[in-house]
Copies of this chain bind each other. A is one copy, B any other.
Amino acid sequence: MMNLMHWRLLVAVADHGSITAAAERVGMTQSAASQAMAGMEATLGAQLFTREPRKTLPTALGLSVIEQARVMLGALQAIRSTVDEARPMLRGTIRIASFPRVLATFLTPALQRFAQLYPGIEVTTLDVTDNEVLTLLDTGLIDLGVVLNPAPERNATVLGRDLWMAVLPANHALAQRPADACVSLEELLEQPFVLATGGCTANARSLGAAAGLTLRDIRVEVREWNSAFSLVREGVGVTLVPEMALPIQRKGLRVMALKMPLHREFALVGTPNRPPSAAARALLEMLAD
């Protein structure tokens, strides 16, 4: 008893003042409607309508019940529209380009949660370098890309940030300062240097250039951060790396913060040429929380 159809029937009876008309309205036979109404009154334990020869009118209690039944049906209708409106967001694919460390650190947990919230959306990730991300975005081969320190005109969703840290041999002169001492970018870049790029254009050289400084004595230039740490440990020089890239095992190394902290900010941006797809919008909306 008390199927949802019966509540629709109830308000239809109230609207039409007749069981027969209401039955036709909701697509039932007169008999079924009569039984349904009698059943509802029985389960509620109260009479909702008075049956008069020509019409069926609600009782005082019936009026209250009908009013609230409309609320209930309204909520049901709202559910249906919610689902219908959300349908475009349910399926689709998102292609994201990012670079390795960011993917592992910031994106993967978010994407796991996203996959849980939108199981119908397939997310593929590409592991590239930071300037490859930019070209992929411009060509439109991907939907979203992670960029560093995005220009404010692109409305970007910030994923996170990390600090640039100086890494020196433990026995280096600058490394003898107290535990929480800093080192200035200027004095760091004057040292014999191991330039690590991590494959990115944003590295010690570009940071120095932005500050009007140049690296005077680059001993080695390597792509992998870990290679740089080994070289620093062996006393080849000092280096400057993102905090995220720091090794767990720091024996033989001294990690120091910069006097003027420099950070890099990771953000997710859409392609500049076309608006983001419904699926991509869902992801960006989730990240906004």
* A286 CB–B CB distance under 8 Å: yes
Within 8 Å CB of A44, what residues of B? Answer: 79-80, 83
- Tell me which of A61-69, A202-210, A234-242, A267-275 binds B: A61-69
Question: How far is it, in angstroms, between the C-alpha of A68 and the C-alpha of B77 when the chains are bound?
Answer: 10
Interface size bracket, A side: 35 or more
Given contacts A57-B116, A65-B83, A119-B47, contact A75 B78 (CB under 8 A): no
| Copies of this chain held together in the complex | 2
Give the dominant DSSP class at A's interface: helix
Is A59 in contact with B4, judged by CB distance below 8 angstroms?
Answer: no
* A120 CB–B CB distance under 8 Å: yes
Question: How far is it, in angstroms, between the C-alpha of A92 and the C-alpha of B26 when the chains are bound?
Answer: 35
Give A52-100 interface residues, CB cut-off 8 Å to B. 52, 57, 59-61, 64-65, 68-69, 71-72, 75-76, 78-80, 82-83, 86-87, 89-90
* A31 CB–B CB distance under 8 Å: no
Interface string of A3-19 (1 = CB under 8 A from B): 11000000000000000
Question: How far is it, in angstroms, between the C-alpha of A282 and the C-alpha of B79 when the chains are bound?
Answer: 37
Q: Which one, B47, B71, B282, contacts A90 given CB within 8 A?
A: B47
Question: How far is it, in angstroms, between the C-alpha of A168 and the C-alpha of B45 when the chains are bound?
Answer: 59
Other A-B pairs, 7, CB within 8 Å; known A2-B4, A72-B79, A75-B75? A3-B4, A44-B83, A50-B119, A61-B83, A61-B89, A64-B82, A71-B75
Q: Can you sample 5 A-B contacts with CB below 8 Å?
A: A59-B117, A60-B118, A65-B79, A69-B79, A72-B79
